[in-house]
């Protein structure tokens, strides 16, 4: 269900999912509720830009690992 809400299904998986929810009111309802929840979370989330010093530290760390 979460993969469907997040748009992470392959075309074949999406087709099967859509065929199922057309026939299954319970899953359709759950899917719609999950979409609403995701939408509400997106509206309320506050994003902050990481300080450049933190970005540089993380990049330096990852460079040293590889």
The model's pLDDT over 17-61, given as tens digits with 9 standing for 90+, comes to 999 999 999 999 999 999 999 999 988 988 889 999 999 999 998
Look at residues 24, 41, 44, 34 and name the one whose alpha carbon lies nearest to residue 2: 34
pLDDT number for residue 64: 80
Put simply, whether the predicted model's pTM sits higher than 0.75 gets the answer no
Q: Is the pLDDT of residue 6 over 90?
A: yes
| Contact (CB, 8 A) for 34 and 2 | yes
The residue whose two tokens read 């509206």 is: 43
């Amino acid at each position: 269900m979460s993969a469907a809400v997040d748009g992470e299904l392959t075309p074949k998986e999406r087709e099967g999912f859509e065929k199922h929810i057309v026939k299954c009111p319970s899953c359709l309802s759950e899917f719609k509720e999950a979409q609403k929840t995701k939408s509400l979370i997106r509206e309320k989330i506050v994003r902050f830009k990481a300080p450049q010093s933190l970005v540089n530290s993380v990049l330096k760390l990852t460079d040293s690992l590889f």
